[in-house]
Chains A and B, each alone.
Chain A
Amino acid sequence: MVLEIKNLVKTFKQADLSKIEVLKNLNLAVQKRDTVAVVGQSGSGKSTLLSLLAGLDRQTSGSLKLHGKELGELSEIEMTQFRAENIGIIFQQFYLMPHLTSLENVSLPLEMFGYKESQERALEAMDQVGLMDRVKHFPHQLSGGESQRVAIARAIVIRPSILLADEPTGNLDNATGFQVADLIFNLVQTTGMTMIMVTHNKDLANKCSRQMTLKNGTFE
């Protein structure tokens, strides 16, 4: 079992100090190599779930285990380390560092931890996403599809066991979106990663091995 969620609850305080429960007693188990699509309307709690899975936020109650580790029990530094070693994230808006080249963006997570072979591995990742001819380009010199592919390369360069994707084709046109989606699924398949993807796109969701619909904070 890669991911195990039991009775997961996340509440937020509102400005008037009342509480709003965004995630209500969620339960989910994800096996290795599973690809799970989380679909749902805006405000259903998809992004909140993703931020909890990425360890960027803490649950209010319940259990969230990744590789048997209870994320809620990890300190901020332990969580950061855990994320850096196990979780790759792809954002809808790509979020590349504007002042770094494609290659530097990709090697960033490795360099941060002082890996000697960061260059080689970044080049390998760039090769995997088919952008060897764009290694020295800066983000503003890339198209949307290319930018997202760089972001994918950056997510996989650490060889994560789980890939979290937040609307990875949301900012791309249809044709490019399909290409990027194919790339992600191919990579997931070849590397044996587990993927959890938040999307509105039904075609993309259909490509996943499982679909979970989030409505009002619970899985339908």
Chain B
Amino acid sequence: MMIIKKLFWPKLALRELRNNRKFSLFFILNLAMGLSGFIALDSFKESLDLHLGKNSKAILGADIALTTYFPFQEENIKYLESNLPENTKVTRRISLFTMVSSIKKSRLVEVIGVEELFPFYGKIFLKNNGIVQDDNHLKKLNLYDESWVYPELLNILNLSEDENIKIGEKNFLITDLVMDDPSSSMSSFGFAPRIYVGFSKLKETGLLTKKSRVSYQRLYSLPKGANLESIVEKLKNNVKNLKGSDSKIRIISHKNAGNNLGRLLGYLNDYLGLVALIAIFLAGIGAAYLYRNYLSHHFRELSILMSLGATRQQTYQMVLWQLLFLGTGASLIAILISIIILPFLPLLLEQFLPRGFVTHISLSSLFFSIFIGCMGSFVFCLPVLSRIRSVKPLYLFHEHFINNDVEFKLWQQWYSYIPLIMLSWFLSVWQSHSWVVGSIFIVMLILSIIVLCLVALVILRIVGDISQNLNSVVIRLAFRNINRNRLGAISCFLALSMGTLLINLIPQIYQGLQEEISRPKDFRIPSLFMFDIQPDQIEALKKLISEENEVMKYISPMVRARLEKINNEVFKSFNDDSPITREQEREQRFRMRTLNLSYRTELSESEYIVRGQPFSSKYDWDSGLPSEVSIEERYADRFGLKIGDTLTFNVQEILIDAKIVNFRRVKWNSFQPNFFILFQPGVLEEAPATFLASLGGLDQFKRIKLQNKIVNKFPNVSVVDVNRTVKRILSISDQMVLALKLMAYLSIFAGLIVVFSIARNEVEGRLWELNLLKVLGAKFNDIQKMIQFEFLIIGFFACIFGVSVSTIMSYGLAWWFFENFWQWTWGISIMSIIGVISMSVIVAWFATRKLLKSSPLTLLRSS
């Protein structure tokens, strides 16, 4: 009996939904459209995590790796390796970014030196020799001056196999091409193709000096049964006891090897997730509107049930079952749509994806989708749901029970919006992996909605006033209808204006970004950027460049150091906990970073002091005072530094105290040598340094000529072609923006579905009076025009305000991020206004045409 009783309410709920098929269908469609982008994205992220998880050992090539930017100290390695179980295998790997040249061309590459056992996991696939299965291949690489290169390098350097390339002081013969490299999980961004050489051979190039930025790795393969977590923990603890450069050794377990590889894609996913959230929000507005109408037409049924013995809780139970069914239905449809969308996502994001990546929808993604669908339908409808509290069955004894008898004001139920706000907040923080970004996003979203609602109310009032003085009956009735059906009008206004806002905002921000990257205001981007210049090479390099009638600019020294203390408290260079948020991740990265210090007599054009005083003068070592430093303002923010704080740096094991005297703002996109930390002159001049410099105003021919000349004469100097880098950055951001735009179009599509549903619902609710108009002599065309005019007005104002708010927002963002560099993309704005207005009128026409075509007789009967 209990089972029958328990099944009664879900059965009744389902019956009612089946009986209200159109409502159920539109509710499900609305929500499904909003959910589909979100679900596709979630599945995509999960597929990526799964791929990285599955291939983590291959990505690292080992179970555990020790990595550092300084050569390992023998005694420290012995101390650390004492933690490893017997039969642990070890191999070494060195990598660095440097120039490689052929006779014709040169290019920045990543050179990797490996020993015979590399890699323990994953297989390198070579074009000629196939999979590197035994040690023989790698033995040869360590015995002879041979190299394996990424195929794109042959095109870049105009080379073919069996030709020589010069790395540092040494020539290497290209013996094979690397077709698949599991340790390079993400497709190469094209900045620096890889070259594999023997470990011992890389040492012979002369590039591994103390001043060069070289990554040293020791890779371990643990015996079966070894406890990875406890070994990693022990190693981390032991590193804390080390002194000197080895205290900077990082312990990488294969389990977090993929973290860094997916960083850029991670950021993109974060923002895609936020845009997808807006689509859910718009869909939710539509669903809540539909549900409000549905529920208010069902108060009588609820009253009957209560008069027959149902408790109020049981009626709640029934509507909750309905929401559960609707939410599940919406999720299932959304899953189907995402199954269609999902295969296209990797095409959109191919530059960011690992090789061999395939998408799939996992069981956990399915459950998550259903959970979000059900929770979404519940929280969006909760403010409406609370109306059930006001249902009174005693109204059944009134002569004419009108569903609207139930008095209710949505705003009075403010607390019923809390779960919606909380869920949205949770989802945005979860999507953005950032409390800050997630919270700002949700506050901005709520503010936008409030502002747009207020604007809509003002417009409705104006529309109501205007309607008094209009001569045309059609237009007058259209104006009156908008003013009368306020909730429908505001919902449509919100959906359309938010969609327009989004499709405008993304390109507008991108426009600023594009202009800023390619043509930063007041700056000429250098043509070539040089680093790793040794002090004794500066004069010779200057001379070489002057032979080509060019001048080397912004020559800046760079001294490697470690931050030891802040205000005499030891600076923790790494965090033990795995980062969860993007902020933690960034802080960890910053803490792990080896510092590059510099000194200048005066600031460059691309930086200026925002707080504090300029350096006093040249440092006097006899003064006994700490030296003066200038810190980049965002770097200072990240570590909570204040002017007057004392920092202790370790420069080649010499401790230097420095007091912060000012904060600087740096225009990083000037592509000029800039630093987070600048010392006053007189402190670092004697420390071992390398130099950075740039060259400007070169055409393509001269760029290549100079680059080759520099690399041939100074093989250790790395040269970056800034133009190519800018192009590459823009091409990557193009792809990112395209993905974001598509997600924004999904939002506008969700908005149009809302318009469709509301238009249909409004007309259905007004059939009786529309029929009356027909009986009184109104033509079908007039009625159709009236409906179209209503949506034209709503669409027009929604677009105008959507564009206006997006313009203000993009201006604000440009002011915040790009220092007031902003351009109005009027073309996109006008296109979106015309497009969205036309679409809303067409959609409204499409939604209502069948209903409007019904004969007055049918309408009278049905009413």
| Residues of chain A having any CB pair with chain B under 8 Å | 47, 50-51, 54, 56-57, 76-77, 80-81, 83-84, 89, 91-93, 95-100, 108-109, 111-116, 154, 158, 166
Contacts and interface: CB of A to CB of B under 8 A. Distances in A.
A100 B15 contact: yes
19 contacts: A54-B394, A56-B394, A76-B312, A81-B309, A84-B308, A84-B309, A95-B401, A96-B304, A97-B304, A98-B301, A99-B15, A99-B18, A100-B15, A108-B305, A112-B5, A113-B309, A114-B2, A114-B5, A166-B397
A98 B392 CA distance: 19
Contacts of A77: 311
A80 B394 contact: no
Given A56-B393, A91-B397, A95-B304, A112 B15 contact: no
Nearest to B307: A89
Contact of A51 (B2, B15, B309, B397): B397
A23 to B, nearest CB: 13
Contacts of A92: 399
Nearest to A95: B304
A93 B397 CA distance: 9
A112 B8 contact: yes
B311 A76 contact: yes
A93 B401 CA distance: 9
A113 B304 contact: no
B16 interface: yes
B8 A114 contact: yes
A89 B304 CA distance: 10
A112 B4 contact: no
Contacts of B392: 56-57
Given A54-B394, A108-B305, 9 more contacts: A47-B394, A56-B307, A81-B309, A95-B304, A95-B307, A97-B301, A97-B304, A114-B4, A114-B8
B396 interface: yes
B314 interface: yes
B300 interface: yes
B1 interface: yes
3 A-B pairs closest in CB distance:
A84-B309, A114-B5, A99-B19
B398 interface: yes
B861 to A, nearest CB: 11
A166 B307 CA distance: 13
A116 B397 contact: no
A154 B5 CA distance: 18
Interface string B391-415: 0111011110100000000000000
A114 B401 contact: no
A114 B1 contact: yes
B314 A112 contact: yes
Contacts of A89: 307-308
B621 to A, nearest CB: 86
A156 to B, nearest CB: 12
Interface of B: 1-2, 4-6, 8, 15-16, 18-20, 300-301, 303-312, 314, 392-394, 396-399, 401
Contacts of B307: 54, 56, 83, 89, 95
A48 B323 CA distance: 34
A113 B5 contact: yes
B388 to A, nearest CB: 14
Nearest to A198: B397
A47 B1 contact: no
B858 to A, nearest CB: 15
A154 B4 contact: no
A97 B16 CA distance: 9
A162 to B, nearest CB: 14
Contacts of A84: 308-309
Contacts of A47: 394, 397-398
Contacts of A99: 15-16, 18-20
A81 to B, nearest CB: 7
Nearest to A84: B309
A113 B305 CA distance: 12
Contacts of B300: 95
A116 B396 contact: no
Contacts of A108: 305, 308
A114 B3 CA distance: 8
B19 A112 contact: no
A154 B399 contact: no
B860 to A, nearest CB: 16
Contact of A109 (B303, B309, B398): B309
Contacts of A93: 396, 401
Given A99-B16, A113-B5, A57 B394 contact: yes
A51 B401 CA distance: 14
Contacts of A112: 5, 8, 305, 308-310, 314
A69 to B, nearest CB: 16
A119 B98 CA distance: 85
Contacts of A96: 304
A91 B394 contact: no
Nearest to A166: B397
A52 to B, nearest CB: 9
A83 B8 CA distance: 19
Contact of A80 (B4, B303, B304, B311): B311
A83 B307 CA distance: 8
A182 B4 CA distance: 36
A166 B860 CA distance: 29
A109 B15 CA distance: 16
A166 B398 CA distance: 10
A126 to B, nearest CB: 16
Contact of A111 (B4, B304, B399): B4
Contacts of A158: 309
A155 B669 CA distance: 80
B335 to A, nearest CB: 28
Nearest to B400: A93
A80 B315 CA distance: 12
A200 B2 CA distance: 43
A103 B401 CA distance: 24
A50 B4 contact: no
Max chain A C-beta neighbours (<10 A), residue from B16, B20, B399: B399
A181 B398 CA distance: 21
B308 A109 contact: yes
Contacts of A109: 308-309
A83 B396 CA distance: 15
A111 B310 CA distance: 11
A91 B399 CA distance: 10
A154 B393 contact: no
Contact of B1 (A98, A100, A116): A116
Nearest to B6: A114
Given A76-B311, A80-B309, A80-B310, A50 B5 contact: no
A109 B393 CA distance: 15
B310 A91 contact: no
Contacts of A91: 396-397
Most-contacted residue by chain A among B4, B18, B301, B307 (CB, 10 A): B307
A218 B143 CA distance: 115
Contacts of A97: 301, 304-305
Nearest to B20: A99
B22 to A, nearest CB: 13
A137 B639 CA distance: 75
A47 B395 CA distance: 9
Contacts of B306: 56, 80
Contacts of B4: 111, 114, 116
B467 to A, nearest CB: 29
Contacts of B15: 99-100
A77 B306 CA distance: 11
Contacts of B1: 114-116
B397 to A, nearest CB: 4
A83 B2 contact: no
Contacts of B309: 80-81, 83-84, 109, 112-113, 158
Contacts of B16: 99
B19 A98 contact: yes
Contacts of B301: 97-98
Nearest to B314: A112
